Amino acid sequence: MDISRPELGRRRRRRRALYSAAALVLLAGTTLGLSRLKPAAPRVDRHAIYTDTVKRGEMLRQVRGNGTLVPEEVNWVPAITAGRVERIRVLPGAAVKTDTILVELSNPEVEHAAFEAAWQLKAAEAQFNKLKVQLETERLGQEAQAAQLRAECSVAKLDAQADAELAAGKLVDRLTALRSQTKAEQLDIRCELEEKRLRILQDSHDAQLAAQQAEIERLRAFLELRRNQEARLQVRSGLDGVLQRLGDRETLQVGQQLPAGALVARVANPARLKAEIKIVETQAKDVAPGQKAVIDTRNGKIAGHVVRVDPAVQNGTVTVDVTLDEALPRGARPDLSVEGVIELERLADVLHVGRPVQGQADSLVGLFKVSAGGREAERVPVRLGRSSVNTIEVLSGLELGDTILLNDMSQYDAHDRVRLN
């Protein structure tokens, strides 16, 4: 016979309620504890990172940029007159002299103009000779007339003198003597006027000949210009060096028509090269002429110095010209890609470290500093100062002997520490 025991049911319900309350309390405590825990630090492979230790001492400031070797002496040879390419006598890469003919052009109009100028000069010279003969004939006629008048004047003076002597002896009347004297005086005046006329005529002849001579000189200069244009149809190098290019944008071809002023060739002296280095505009503010530089041609390094800094910025860079102070290494040639390092200054007794990827000069950045145990790295704010190619000055945030991560850690911006495996 079964006996009813209701107290057992109450005990079971009481135990269940206690268990449920305990479970709720445990769950709430666990949730609260987990919420207060810091998130797990991400892991970073120790072999994939680069580190450097903060040092104190001398720091060499440098800037680096890529560029090319370019000739210091470059001659772009233009076509003085329009013409058709008849013959290409030298190909790019050949050594040339100043008077080496590179390209032969043809232009019938230039040749005809030179021919016409030559005949115009000959006609002017013939006209000069003709005018000279005419003026000489006129001058001789005038001199003959003056000579005749001088002779008449002399005769009149003798007659006047004789009549005066006869009148003194009362051999002729006084009126005849006066007439002879008056005639002599009139002829003397005419002689003086004729002499002046002869001098004025000579000056007039000289002026006419000078005008014709000036015309001849003008035509001679014009002919020289035309002949020079004709001679320029044979395009010459104009510089001792190497022919680098034929044509401006496209290679020159036989039969091609060139306008006046078109670039025909580029000649450069390969023995005198300089480096054009492109420096990022933010790093070029301290670059100045006279600073030392080292140019790496991949076949050797050459010492040089800065001679010019372009005042304009192009595509975010500043062009710096570096003159080479040493002999060129083997294989150096124009347009060769090079790398240049320019020495800005030497800083004495400063705190410095290897330049991190995200480290810019005069900025405040967060860098990961390796802990003492070397298993973790914690982000710390660091104030950076002047920068160089591979190093940067530390103003605050780090101490001597601290080790930092130099890698790009932007993917861990959401974390304040990382674990190093």
- Residue-wise pLDDT for 83-133, tens only, equals 999 999 999 989 999 999 999 999 999 989 999 999 999 999 999 999 888
Q: What is the pairing mode between strands 241-246 and 273-280?
A: unpaired
Give SS3 for 213.
helix
| Under 8 Å between Cβ of 89 and 237 | no
User: pLDDT value at position 4?
Assistant: 57
CA distance 32 to 361: 44
Instruction: Count Cα neighbours of 129 within 13 Å in the Cβ-side half-sphere.
Output: 5
User: pLDDT value at position 141?
Assistant: 81
- Give per-residue pLDDT as tens, 303-316: 999 999 999 999 99
CA distance 194 to 188: 10
CA distance 157 to 180: 8
CA distance 293 to 323: 9
| Under 8 Å between Cβ of 75 and 237 | yes
Tokens for 165, please give them.
Answer: 């002597």
Please give the chain's pLDDT, 421 residues, in tens.
455 556 666 667 777 777 777 777 777 767 666 555 455 678 888 888 889 999 999 999 999 999 999 988 888 999 988 999 999 999 998 999 999 999 999 999 998 999 999 999 999 999 999 988 888 888 888 787 878 877 878 887 887 787 777 777 777 777 777 778 888 778 788 888 888 888 888 888 888 889 999 999 999 999 999 999 899 899 999 888 899 889 888 888 999 999 998 999 999 888 888 999 999 888 888 899 999 999 999 888 999 999 999 999 999 999 999 999 988 888 788 889 999 999 998 899 999 999 898 888 888 999 999 986 788 888 999 999 988 888 999 999 999 999 999 988 888 888 888 888 7
pTM: 0.58
Angle at 139 between CA 138 and CA 141, to 5 degrees: 65
